[in-house]
Structure 1
């Protein structure tokens, strides 16, 4: 698709989101619920909505899906103008315009502390689902970031999931020798730019310094003086070793999924919820796996980003709050959590004993059990500017218009901004 067509498509999607959610806060029909969700969670949310409607005859639920960037950029505008949806994606913690700690102080989220599910949220997830000890969002899934690949393509290049950095670099060459790329990379889509960095930083920074995020908060650490420099250097090393798509800045998220599904790429570094999208593209029979992206040669130090990922809040000004609360209660139930995560290829954020882990998530599940996951970095940042600057700097690194040191200085400046 040409750049002009992509721009028109983005504008059209954004306009659709605005129009579809336009009457969400003033719904007059008590049997109609409007939901806005991330496009990566379509399979999960569709399954929950179908089951909710089956259990609640006469209820109509309309869901509008949008890409992460479009959803974040339009949501606050809708909420501030009183035209927001009844239920919508809220990112846990902080770090982007649609995050809990950005939306809650503005009064956009209903207090859900009295709901039964609030007491069942794991202690480790409360820091990113609560503000001032009160619960404002229902966490939907526990996700990870890693290399999602098809076993067919991995076998075709006579490879296996890399355990060390040297193995990763070698695998890139093996993929190229077979006419493939190891990792499809869609850095044209801004939010995609962060995923490789996060995967590498989990090891280069947090393996030796697990309290790094708190040290940043306390003003005792910086991006420039940490393993972030190593991670960005390695990001570019992967680029120079031809591990990625030939033109990452001209490749979209959607294209990367097609490249993996159709065998042009062995895999893609993505969030676990993208497993469902790859399956949709490739067909249900495809064998998928997910592995941590190694950033060093000491396998014992490899860490994997893992955290509460998808979450939903209720519009504090919804004209249909009773139905909205009923919906999030269902989403938080054992049935709702299992449906959401079975379809999304993720793990329930509110654990239960009946959930069967997708075999593709064996690595994430093992890292969880071993205590070798680290939070998604942006969830603990003090403002949305850092994430946006990260997107910008990675794109500039790939265009050759900045250096790693300049990128790190820009991140430190954004972190200090009020």
Structure 2
């Protein structure tokens, strides 16, 4: 087997390139628009989208499909501008809820999304999904997967240090010590990549805040709660405690998401705190690696543990698409049982529109169990009122772990962003 580092370079080169019948960059590297249907997806969902497109092409052999991939930061910063300029793709990744510039709420408010209320997938879509796909009673995105944020462990890595999956906060800290004593680190952390900075806080806040306050988002909306008054404070202090305890890889502010995959695949890290679709990315580096995803405990009572779990990936349709009929056919396929199963089969996630024929990946068995049991909570940014909160969160978490801001300053900045204050 090739060395993980060399294989990773190849995997990332493929992931960041255009997987299509035309040779253009993420938003079109030439002056000529792509011919046929153009689809743009997040690079973290490449294997999932590749599976869907391959099957869609079999159903529509005469239809030309161009697929491109871009990083989260590129999509959130550039996609809205491209759509406003009339240069956007036909079908594209859109974030559920309202938490960033490429979210359903933000794009729909500017008439940059086609109304999909009459599409067939709406007949079977769970009502619990609609708050993050709908705006003012109309549906603007087809949700494709239910994902989660938690600890992704290499079972070989756990065995190598003689450890087991921790169920309590105390056990988690002890496992950090065990990994360090064995010359490893428990969690690879890539805080050089901005979107990664939200994951550890989200994983902790799911328990510290939502276990006791399941209506926290509504209370925030009504002004009954705030970041500074809530147990977000507890979560951030626990984040710093994990940092001090040596739970994370060294120099993580200069470590990228891609570096963390290599650390897990090479055995230098036992695991990583990530989204569920990262399992497929790690497997791309080492297909033989056995992985397991679990909730990150934040208290010493396992019954209190919650896991961030929600619709993670969704797709919208460009209302100015020159290939509207083909784009609608692709949207319908994404919302079908076949499309949902294909999207999630390779990505270690669950269909956003459940069906009985889907076989759950053993690596995410706990996610499925928690989805059914109701011990998941929404991704925090999906219910934030504006994209500034998430961007502030990225910046403030970096400042917190760099030691240039304390917990009070971080929470105050988040409250200001939530309230629309500079």
TM-score by length of 2: 0.93
2:274 aligned partner:
270
Superposed, 1:12-411 pairs within 5 Å as 16-20=25-29, 29=35, 32-283=36-287, 285-411=288-414
Question: 1:19 offset after TM fit, Å?
Answer: 2.3
Contact map agreement 1:22 1:83 (CA 8 A) in 2: no
Root mean square deviation of aligned Cα: 1.7
- Secondary structure of 1:72's partner? helix
Structure 2 CA distance for aligned equivalents of residues 204 and 22 of structure 1: 50
Structure 1 CA distance for aligned equivalents of residues 135 and 166 of structure 2: 40
Structure 2 CA distance for aligned equivalents of residues 147 and 42 of structure 1: 21
2:9 aligned partner:
none
Question: 1:13 offset after TM fit, Å?
Answer: 8.3
Query: Structure 2: which 5+ runs fail to align?
Result: 6-12, 19-23
Contact map agreement 1:21 1:34 (CA 8 A) in 2: no
Question: 1:130 offset after TM fit, Å?
Answer: 0.7
Question: 1:119 offset after TM fit, Å?
Answer: 1.8
Contact map agreement 2:97 2:132 (CA 8 A) in 1: yes
Query: Structure 1: which 5+ runs fail to align?
Result: 2-8
TM-score by length of 1: 0.94
Structure 2 CA distance for aligned equivalents of residues 369 and 221 of structure 1: 28
- The one-character-per-residue Cα deviations of 1:58-105 (angstroms, maximum 9, x if unpaired) are 222111111101111010110010000000000001111110000001
Aligned length: 403
1:412 aligned partner:
415
Q: If each structure's helix is expressed as a fraction of its own residues, which one has the higher value?
A: 1
Structure 1 CA distance for aligned equivalents of residues 30 and 374 of structure 2: 40
Contact map agreement 2:17 2:68 (CA 8 A) in 1: no
1:5 aligned partner:
none
Structure 2 CA distance for aligned equivalents of residues 161 and 358 of structure 1: 18
Note closer, same or farther for the CA distance 1:367–1:321 as it changes in structure 2 (3 Å cut): same
- The one-character-per-residue Cα deviations of 1:143-186 (angstroms, maximum 9, x if unpaired) are 00000111000100111111000000000011111111100000
- Secondary structure of 1:223's partner? coil
Question: 1:18 offset after TM fit, Å?
Answer: 2.6
Question: 1:367 offset after TM fit, Å?
Answer: 1.1
Contact map agreement 2:143 2:311 (CA 8 A) in 1: yes
Structure 2 CA distance for aligned equivalents of residues 338 and 378 of structure 1: 26
Question: 1:363 offset after TM fit, Å?
Answer: 1.0
Contact map agreement 1:20 1:64 (CA 8 A) in 2: no
Structure 2 CA distance for aligned equivalents of residues 113 and 21 of structure 1: 34
- Secondary structure of 1:188's partner? coil
Structure 1 CA distance for aligned equivalents of residues 117 and 400 of structure 2: 43
Contact map agreement 1:202 1:374 (CA 8 A) in 2: yes
- Secondary structure of 2:27's partner? helix
Structure 1 CA distance for aligned equivalents of residues 191 and 418 of structure 2: 22
